[in-house]
Structure 1
Amino acid sequence: MTTVPYWLLINTFVVYIVFCSETQNNVCSKTCSTSMKNSYVYNFCHEQNLQLQGRCCVNVTGSQQILGLDLQSCGLSQLTGLFTHGASLQVLLLQDNPLMNITSTDFEGLLELKYLTLPLDSDCPGGMDAWEVTNTTANETLCLQELDFCLVHNVSCPSNSYCSNTGPGLSECLCLPGYHGYKCLRKGTFPTTVFTAGMVGSTLFVAGLLWFTQRRNVKKQV
């Protein structure tokens, strides 16, 4: 059996945290050639009594959710990893960008979209069946009111599991409470406490070992 070194897991975890933090901060401070004044996000934000923070419309109460995002004319060529903190997004403007190879997975995790604009000649993620209304104007592709893929397509999952919508045109089968493992065949709950304790203990041990060895090298250099 091939095992993954703990140091690699730790580094991956740290990189993931840093990446998510940078993504959340940078997505609202994108430099774009089009002003937000009177854009759909701008008007939406004021109508809902929300707060504009750069290119974002934010609900400042509670968990600082981003409800609107105006990225039109921002020179975007890809969307991968851009919406890490966008689960609450309702309005998203992406027209007038040189986007290439847009796929449904670029919008994975976005479950609340009500208004999405894309560059002209782009297809709505998930296709026409993933939205109440899809339309093409002279300047953009418009996708209105995301639909629950599980309900629209009556997705069938194996025993002991259920369908969960994960984005426009996307879904996955999750285990029912009391089941876990491959195809949800194992009864009982996943041993979260034991797993977490093992991970925390291993992480602390490796962190302490690295600190000790690196600290010794520093002393030698001094």
Structure 2
Amino acid sequence: MAPREPGRPARLASWAAALLLALGVERALALPEICTQCPGSVQNLSKVALYCKQTSELILRDRCCLNQKGTILGLDLQNCSLKDPGPNFTQAHSAVVIDLQTNPLKDDLTNTFRGFTQLQTLVLPLNVSCPGGINAWKKVISYVDNQICQGQKNLCNSTGDPEMCPENGACAPDGPGLLQCVCADGFHGYKCMRQGSFSMFMFFGILGSTTLSVSVLLWGTQRRKAKTP
């Protein structure tokens, strides 16, 4: 048996610690851009901070409340001089609580919150309407300088229109006041009329052959032009 190299366990421990530190730094750098879009941090008495402190597994980082996987559950962008939430706002589609008060926001925010199906508490400036209107929320509370849209409704349960979606589709929420039709398993395409799984191999095969044909045609055309005196 070969003699054990002295000091080897200590060096292995040092390498392991360095690896964990590097992974921690990488995770810190992976913070979603929306969390640092506005300087400062979440205020202690904001709706986002109060929600985040209810569960020990949640952490406050810059303007976000995150779970252990880095998923945004709360976003506080109050007093950020925002006319609109910006292109990175969709990173917070999983948020349960969002605070946008004290911002010069445009009034119509319906499409801004498309896909925000988990949102239950939204704090807005007093002059900005709740996305989807009052019928999209269980309660709308107005205060002196802000309003709170509370409890997003699932409008699929209250539309009363059985023909809204095709026979092989089902209604699904798509954000405050928004709905979408989702095809049942085994169906796809226009009005969910095509049966069977969507063939990605066929799609990319057709796309690749079309691209190759166009490329060869253009190459041949340009070559003939180059040979013409």
Same fold (TM over 0.5): yes
> What's the Cα RMSD here?
2.5
Paired position in structure 2 for 1:66 = 72
Which position in structure 2 is the counterpart of 1:81?
Answer: 87
Change (3 A) 1:64 1:196: farther
Deviations 1:66-125 (A, max 9, x none): 001111001110135343222320000001000014321100111111110111121111
Contact conserved, 1:34 with 1:72, CA < 8 A, in 2? no
Higher relative contact order (CA 8 A, sep 6+): 1
| Aligned positions, number | 179
Is 1:115 paired with 2:121?
yes
1:128 aligns with 2:134: yes
Counterpart Cα distance in 2 of 1:142 and 1:192: 44
Structure 2 unaligned runs (5+)? Answer: 1-30, 213-229
- Residues 33 and 64 of structure 1, relative CA distance in 2, 3 Å threshold: closer
Q: Tell me: CA distance 1:154–1:82, structure 2 relative to 1, closer, same or farther (3 Å).
A: farther
SS in 2 for 1:158: coil
Residue-by-residue CA offset, 1:157-196 (whole Å, 9 max, x unaligned): 1221111111000011121112111111212221123335
Separation in 1 of the partners of 2:188 and 2:151?
33
Contact 1:59 1:66 in 2 (8 A): yes
Match of 1:190 in 2: 198
Match of 1:175 among 155, 180, 183: 183
Taking the aligned partners of 2:42 and 2:191, their CA distance within structure 1 comes to 49
Percent identity of equivalent pairs: 37
The corresponding residue for 1:28 is 35
TM-score (norm 2): 0.70
User: Which amino acid counterpart does residue 106 of structure 1 have in structure 2?
Assistant: T
Consecutive aligned runs of 4 or more in structure 1 exceeding 2 Å deviation: 30-35, 79-83, 192-199
1:92 paired to 2:98: yes
TM-score, normalised with respect to structure 1 = 0.72
Larger Rg: 2
Amino acid at match of 2:122: L
Matched, 1:38 2:18: no
Corresponding residue for residue 26 of structure 2 = none
For residues 11-26 of structure 1, what are the structure 2 equivalents within 5 Å? 25-26=32-33
Distance in 1 (alpha carbons) for counterparts of 2:41 and 2:70: 25
Deviates more, 1:183-192 or 1:135-144: 183-192
User: Shift of residue 33 of structure 1?
Assistant: 7.2
